[in-house]
A and B are shown apart, each in its own frame.
Chain A
């Protein structure tokens, strides 16, 4: 879950080391930057990352507890 300022920077500085280390990443951008969120997903897809390695999720903040508490989420 990310704040709204510097959406590209915030995502890349978290995703690059995380995914390079062998993890996959689900990312909930701030609610006011959905087009940036979609663009980042598009860039990952065009670069050839396998499905599911990076995933943008459009969810309400009320789902945070569900996400954080899920057994597959670290």
Chain B
């Protein structure tokens, strides 16, 4: 499968490569998402809200790593990425 390349735009250094999905793998992912939708749509708003609050906590916990990834992959200044 074709490869995605993560490259630092300033140094041209390759950070990582990732393989893309085959058509069969993609169709499987779509089916999994659809199956999840059938139950997810029945959950309460408050449950969904709680998960997003946890997501926010996880993002805050990893803010430095997340900002660094935006910096090394697409050249965003670190302080802008942290914002």
Asked if A43 and B33 make an inter-chain contact with CB atoms under 8 angstroms apart, the answer reads: no
Asked if B26 and A73 make an inter-chain contact with CB atoms under 8 angstroms apart, the answer reads: no
Prevailing SS type, chain B contact patch: helix
Chain B interface residues toward A at CB < 8 A: 2, 4-7, 15-16, 18-21, 23, 26-27, 29-37, 39-41, 43, 45, 48-49, 51-52, 54-55, 57-59, 62, 65-66, 69-70, 72-74, 76, 81
Name the residue in A20, A24, A44 with the highest tally of chain B Cβ atoms < 10 Å from its Cβ. Answer: A24
Q: Which residues of B contact A46 (CB under 8 A)?
A: 54, 58
Output the nearest chain A residue to B65 by Cβ-Cβ distance: A39
B68 to chain A, nearest CB (A): 10
Interface size class of A (residues with CB under 8 A): 35 or more
Interface string of A31-74 (1 = CB under 8 A from B): 11111101100011011111111010111100100110010110
Interface positions of A from 12 to 27, Cβ below 8 Å from B? 16, 19-20, 22-26
